[in-house]
């Protein structure tokens, strides 16, 4: 699904800014009249932390956004689309009273062709409903319970606040009647020649002509057709720290005239697994970096270019070369930035919390089977498959994305896990045979009890020795970590990435003794992992949990959120950040 853009033939009108806003069910048909409220909410932003009323922060169900939109005068002969980059977790779009789009899944875009409903130069009322409800059959899952006082309360199994609303941009855009609907780019390297394979989907009539330009704007290769190879002699490869990008100019010609143009950055690179190694451009890579969150004060999960740039600046300062989009697909702007700045990305679906025997990283057995007709079931699996399709459809052209993560910490040790995951992993490979696939394993599923790991190319492990286990006993933590990593290596003989390791630390809390929650303790936990990573051959990456402190649901083991950030929520470094910088800026990868 191509991101809207301004090109020689396309226009884009962002609708970011303040929208009228109301929470709750409407007593009239959506879109039929102005919203009955004086509240206004910014787009993009989660709505939860904007206001002071607890009922809005903890709201369960639908909220409504509305504004008027004037269609640019010059769009008379164009097709017009409404595009929503994300509505968390379900969205409905109305043009006037007409329902034009419905979508489930909170972190991937959707759109509607509204050409027949709007007129260039005229205004229309745009209303978007957003539902934050999570059930056993959504990705991520959750359950709505009724409290003793009769209030509805959303429960969920993931350890981050259930921020909701329109956290990414909304826009209308135009395309010509004949248009390029989709482009799929894959790359290979043949000696010193880069081969760029482009599959185009055309909606309408015309001939596709492709031109690849280098950074100076010179055309280095051209080809025609909906399935074409562009060969680039002496290609400058895209890689970690060397973000060489070409520009693919895809043109649709009809009767010798320009019908449509779409411009796409292209990085020529390969990625594959070879034994214990993860290879990018046939060179072994070692990932350093973080599991992150889209999380900032006030905005919640709202995309913000200032935080985008600052977070990457801080990651660069630590020497990180990678991150995981834990635990959902991030805004496309994040991946575009990673492409331009040479970061390696593990791209994850929102399948987090498929585990009824863990909550917020805390082990505990509810005794309920995770995979069963009443819990995580066939319909959850169907929603999960759709989440994978939409992830790959959106992110397939980003060179920064080197690994698809199917899920975070499912109950991969429980009965039914293999039956649930085997088709999903196969689907991911079918959707994109060009990238390796992973899932992120949790500590309860050991090499001996896990039922899924042999199905993936790279095994990602979240481990909390020194925090949830071996608390305040770092010598045992080091021994147990090494022992377990070696068991994974021996059993599966494939690359391991430690995608989570860390400890909570309250910034400013210090101690000379081994004292959990202090900055020194957090630093020492990371340090012990590093010693072990360096001793175990199969470990090809380390991503600390987390880049920054983030908000969670309220719990007695959370202090205004999760404090495992090496930066505070306002992005100030804790002692651990300096440790990472010392290691990652000097380490030979
Ligand atoms: C985990 C989860 C992550 C939590 C983390 C923790 O294993 O993947 O979402 O935030 O543990 O801090 O408990």
Residue 412 Cα, ligand 1 centroid: separation in angstroms? Answer: 16
Cα(360) to centroid of ligand 1, in Å? 6
**479 and 420 part of one domain:** yes
Last residue of a domain, one of 245, 269, 293: 269
Please choose from 291, 325, 360 the residue to mutate so as to test ligand 1's pocket, defined by most ligand atoms within 8 A of CB: 360
Alpha carbons 358 and 158: distance in angstroms, whole number:
9
Residue of minimum CA distance from atom 7 in ligand 1: 361
Is residue 422 located within the same domain as residue 551?
A: yes
Cβ atoms of 308 and 334 within 8 Å: the answer is yes
Q: What is the distance between the alpha carbons of residues 27 and 44, in angstroms, rounded to a whole number?
A: 26
Establish if 5 belongs to a structural domain. Answer: no
242 and 280 housed in the same domain: no
Q: Are 386 and 420 in contact (CB under 8 A)?
A: no
147, 175, 203: which is the final residue of a domain?
A: 175
How much distance in Å is there from the Cα of 319 to the middle of ligand 1? 23
The atom number, within ligand 1, closest to the CA of 409 reads: 8
Nearest to 198, CA basis, from 479, 459, 397:
397
**CATH number of the domain residue 209 falls in:** 2.60.40.10
Q: Is 436 part of any domain?
A: yes
Clarify whether 111 is annotated catalytic: no
The contacts of residue 180 (CB under 8 Å, 6+ apart) are: 2, 200, 201, 202, 203, 208, 250, 252, 260, 261, 262
The residue to mutate among 162, 440, 462, 552, having the most atoms of ligand 1 within 8 angstroms of its beta carbon, is 462
Are 234 and 116 within one domain? no
Within-domain flag for 158:
yes
Distance 3 CA to ligand 1 centre (A): 31
Residue nearest to atom 10 of ligand 1 (CA): 159
Pairing of strands 242-243, 90-95: unpaired
- Cα–ligand 1 centroid distance for 159 (angstroms): 6
The CATH number assigned to the domain holding 170 equals: 2.60.120.260
Ligand 1 center from residue 472 Cα (angstroms): 19
- If you take atom 13 of ligand 1, which residue's CA is the nearest one? 361
The DSSP bridge partners found for residue 232 are 194
Q: Separation of 501 CA from ligand 1 center, angstroms? A: 9
Whether residue 145 sits in one domain with residue 203: no
Do 169 and 208 lie in a common domain? no
Query: Do both 156 and 130 map to the same domain?
Result: yes
Judge whether 580 and 526 are in contact, CB under 8 Å. Answer: yes
- Supply the pLDDT for residue 368: 86
Nearest CA to ligand 1 atom 1: 361
3-class state of residue 17 by DSSP: strand
**Distant-in-sequence, close-in-space partners of 36: CB < 8 Å, separation ≥ 6:** 22, 26, 27
CA-nearest residue for atom 5, ligand 1, is: 361
**Residue 522 belongs to a domain:** yes
In order of 22, 298, 372, 577, the CA distances from 52 in angstroms are 14, 11, 40, 33
Whether residue 95 lies inside any domain: the answer is yes
In whole angstroms, give the CA distance from residue 253 to residue 543. Answer: 46
* 262 and 322, same domain (yes or no): no
Domain boundary among 144, 175, 206: 175
Contacts of 257 (CB under 8 A, 6+ apart): none
10-29 tens-digit pLDDT: 999 999 999 999 999 999 99
Q: Are residues 101 and 214 in the same domain?
A: no
pLDDT at 364: 57
- The answer to whether the beta carbons of residues 574 and 505 sit under 8 Å apart is yes
Same domain, 294 and 443: yes
CB 284 within 8 A of CB 540: yes
**CA 316 – ligand 1 centroid, Å:** 23
Q: Say which residues have a Cβ less than 8 Å from residue 373's Cβ, sequence separation at least 6.
A: none
pLDDT at 501 exceeding the cut of 70: yes
Mutate which of 545, 547, 553, 557 for ligand 1 pocket (most atoms within 8 A of beta carbon): 545
Question: What's the CATH number where 448 sits?
Answer: 3.20.20.80
Catalytic residue (choose from 500, 519, 520, 542): 500
Non-local CB neighbours of 541 within 8 Å, separated by 6+ positions: 278, 285, 286, 287, 288, 289, 322, 495, 497, 498, 499
Nearest to 71 by CA among 5, 9, 13: 13
Residue to mutate, 159, 294, 467, ligand 1, most ligand atoms under 8 Å from C-beta: 159
Contact 11, 175 (CB under 8 A): no
Residue 358: per-residue pLDDT: 77
| Summary mean pLDDT of the chain | 96
Query: Does residue 204 sit in helix, strand or coil?
Result: coil
Give mean pLDDT, residues 395-405.
98
Q: Closest ligand 1 atom, CA of 440?
A: 8
The residue to mutate among 526, 551, 556, 562, having the most atoms of ligand 1 within 8 angstroms of its beta carbon, is 562
Separation between Cα atoms, residue 575 and residue 232, nearest integer Å: 46
Q: Which of 165, 147, 144 is nearest to 155 (CA)?
A: 144
Atom of ligand 1 nearest to the CA of 550: 10
500 is catalytic: yes
Per the domain annotation, does 323 fall within a domain? yes
pLDDT digits (tens, 9 = 90+) for 522-574: 999 999 999 999 999 999 999 999 999 999 999 999 999 999 999 999 999 99
Both 263 and 305 in a single domain?
Answer: no
Residue of minimum CA distance from atom 12 in ligand 1: 361
pLDDT at position 362 is: 54
What distance in angstroms lies between residue 498's CA and the mean position of ligand 1's atoms? 13
Residues having CB closer than 6 A to ligand 1 are: 159, 327, 360-361, 408-409, 442, 462, 500, 545, 562, 564
Q: Check residue 357 and give its pLDDT.
A: 86
Q: Are residues 562 and 500 in the same domain?
A: yes
Q: Give me the catalytic one of 409, 478, 484, 520.
A: 409
Q: Which atom of ligand 1 is nearest to the CA of 442?
A: 7
pLDDT at 589 over 80: no
Q: How many domains does the chain have?
A: 3
- Closest residue (by CA) to atom 2 of ligand 1? 361
Sign of CA dihedral 426, 427, 428, 430: positive
Q: How many CB atoms lie within 10 A of CB 14?
A: 14
Is 574 domain-assigned? yes
So what's the pLDDT on residue 273?
A: 98
Give residue-wise pLDDT tens across range 79-119.
Answer: 999 999 999 999 999 999 999 999 999 999 999 999 999 99
Confidence of residue 136 (pLDDT cuts 50, 70, 90): very high
- Asked if the structure places residue 119 within a domain, the reply is yes
- Domain containing 60 equals 11-175
Contact 571, 565 (CB under 8 A): no
């Amino acid at each position: 699904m191509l991101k809207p853009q301004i090109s020689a033939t396309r226009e884009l009108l962002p609708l970011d800014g303040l929208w009228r806003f109301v929470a709750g069910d409407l007593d009239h048909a959506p879109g039929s009249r102005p919203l009955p409220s004086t509240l206004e909410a910014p787009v993009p932003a989660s709505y939860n932390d904007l206001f002071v009323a607890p009922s809005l922060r903890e709201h369960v169900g639908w909220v409504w956004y509305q504004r008027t939109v004037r269609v640019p005068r010059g769009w008379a002969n164009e097709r017009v689309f409404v595009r929503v980059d994300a509505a968390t977790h379900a969205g409905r779009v109305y043009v006037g009273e007409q329902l034009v789009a419905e979508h489930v899944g909170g972190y991937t875009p959707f759109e509607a062709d509204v050409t027949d409903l709007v007129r260039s130069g005229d205004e229309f009322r745009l209303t978007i409903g957003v539902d934050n409800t999570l059930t056993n059959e959504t990705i991520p899952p959750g359950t709505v319970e009724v409290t003793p006082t009769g209030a509805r309360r959303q429960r969920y199994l993931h350890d981050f606040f259930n921020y909701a609303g329109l956290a990414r941009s909304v826009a209308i855009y135009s395309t010509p009647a004949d248009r390029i609907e989709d482009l799929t780019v894959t790359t290979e390297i043949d000696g010193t020649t880069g081969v760029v394979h482009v599959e185009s989907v055309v909606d309408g009539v015309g001939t596709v002509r492709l031109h690849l330009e280098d950074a100076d704007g010179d055309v280095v290769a051209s080809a025609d057709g909906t399935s074409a190879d562009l060969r680039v002699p002496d290609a400058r490869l895209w890689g970690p720290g060397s973000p060489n990008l070409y520009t693919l100019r895809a043109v649709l010609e009809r009767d010798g005239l320009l019908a449509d143009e779409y411009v796409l950055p292209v990085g020529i690179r390969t990625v594959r697994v070879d034994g214990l190694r993860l290879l990018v451009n046939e060179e072994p890579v070692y990932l350093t970096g973080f599991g992150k969150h889209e999380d900032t004060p006030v905005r919640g999960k709202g995309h913000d270019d200032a935080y985008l740039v600052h977070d990457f600046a801080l990651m660069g300062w630590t020497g990180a070369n990678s991150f995981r989009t834990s635990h959902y697909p991030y805004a496309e702007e994040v991946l575009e930035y990673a492409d331009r700045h040479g970061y390696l990305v593990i791209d994850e679906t929102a399948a987090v919390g498929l585990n009824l025997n863990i909550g917020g990283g805390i082990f505990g057995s509810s005794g309920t089977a995770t995979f069963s007709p009443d819990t995580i079931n066939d319909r959850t699996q169907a929603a999960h498959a759709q989440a994978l399709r939409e992830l790959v459809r959106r992110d397939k052209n980003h060179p920064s994305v080197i690994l698809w993560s199917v899920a975070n910490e499912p109950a991969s040790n429980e009965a039914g896990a293999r039956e649930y995951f085997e088709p999903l992993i196969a689907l991911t490979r079918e959707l994109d045979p060009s990238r390796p696939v992973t899932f992120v394993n949790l500590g309860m599923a050991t090499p001996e009890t896990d039922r899924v790991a042999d199905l993936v190319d790279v095994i990602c492990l979240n481990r909390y020795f020194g925090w949830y286990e071996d608390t305040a006993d770092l010598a045992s933590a080091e021994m147990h970590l090494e022992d377990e990593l070696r068991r994974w290596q021996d059993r599966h003989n494939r690359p391991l990435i430690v995608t989570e390791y860390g400890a909570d630390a309250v910034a400013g809390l210090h101690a000379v003794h081994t004292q959990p929650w202090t900055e020194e303790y957090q630093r020492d936990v990371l340090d012990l992992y590093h010693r072990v990573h360096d001793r175990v051959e199969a470990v090809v990456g380390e991503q600390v949990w987390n880049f920054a402190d983030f908000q969670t649901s309220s719990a007695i083991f959370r202090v205004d959120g999760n404090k495992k950030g090496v930066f505070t929520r306002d992005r100030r470094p804790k002692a651990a950040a300096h440790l990472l910088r010392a290691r990652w800026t000097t380490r030979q990868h």
